[in-house]
């Protein structure tokens, strides 16, 4: 894979794209050569190369969301300590996933997810329950960023390939976003 990406870098139009593809090829080659190294050391180096926690802090919407995700990376890195090689750790994570879903092939499983975790993924059927005011948008103690909350609803709605089910309870006003959608 690293060689294919390196070839793409050589034929890429523009220095920016070529540079990025070269970095990716180098990272892939390094990662392939690190499979037998201790998992925590490799993953810490990978995080440093990608500056992943900084990316999460800057690109996760609300500051608290980004910080929470960055802390999640730290927790994962601590969990990887003492778990053997990167390859061993990857096998262990696969085993944990299989145990959680009850099967090796989880394609037919039901996935419960937050909207944040659903970004970049897609499912045949999506349920968005309780789209009521004070749930989405959430009016908590801090100032509510309506544009960010509206974007989150859009992200949630666009995660479906075939069927989208939206529901709300009768004991609270509908989300104003549903009124905007003429739902």
Q: What is the pLDDT of residue 106?
A: 52
Does 140 have pLDDT greater than 70?
no
Helix (H, G, I), strand (E, B) or coil at 158: coil
Instruction: Name the phi and psi angles at 167, rounded to 5.
Output: -135, 160
| pTM of the complete model | 0.57
Distances (CA, A) of 94 to 68, 86, 88, 113: 24, 12, 10, 19
Percent of the chain with pLDDT over 90: 43
Instruction: Name the phi and psi angles at 81, rounded to 5.
Output: -65, 130
Residue-wise pLDDT for 19-78, tens only, equals: 999 999 999 999 999 999 999 999 999 999 999 999 999 988 778 888 888 999 999 999
**Which is higher by pLDDT, 63 or 6?**
6
Tell me the C-alpha distance between 137 and 139, whole Å. Answer: 6
């Amino acid at each position: 894979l690293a060689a294919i990406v390196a070839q793409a870098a050589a034929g890429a139009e523009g220095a920016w794209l070529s540079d990025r593809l070269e970095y990716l090829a180098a990272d892939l080659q390094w990662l392939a050569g690190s499979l037998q190294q201790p998992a925590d050391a490799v993953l810490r180096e990978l995080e440093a190369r990608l500056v992943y926690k900084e990316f999460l802090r800057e690109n996760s919407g609300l500051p608290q969301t980004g910080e929470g995700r960055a802390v999640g990376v730290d927790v994962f890195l601590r969990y990887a300590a003492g778990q053997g090689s990167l390859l061993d750790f990857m096998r262990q994570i696969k085993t944990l996933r299989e145990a959680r879903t009850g099967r090796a092939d989880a394609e037919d499983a039901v996935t419960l997810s937050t909207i944040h975790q659903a970004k970049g993924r897609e499912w045949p059927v999506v349920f968005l329950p309780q789209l009521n005011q004070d749930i989405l948008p959430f009016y908590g103690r801090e100032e509510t960023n309506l544009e960010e909350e509206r974007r989150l609803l859009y992200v949630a709605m666009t995660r479906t390939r075939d069927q989208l089910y939206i529901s709300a309870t009768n004991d609270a006003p509908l989300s104003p976003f549903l009124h905007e959608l003429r739902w």
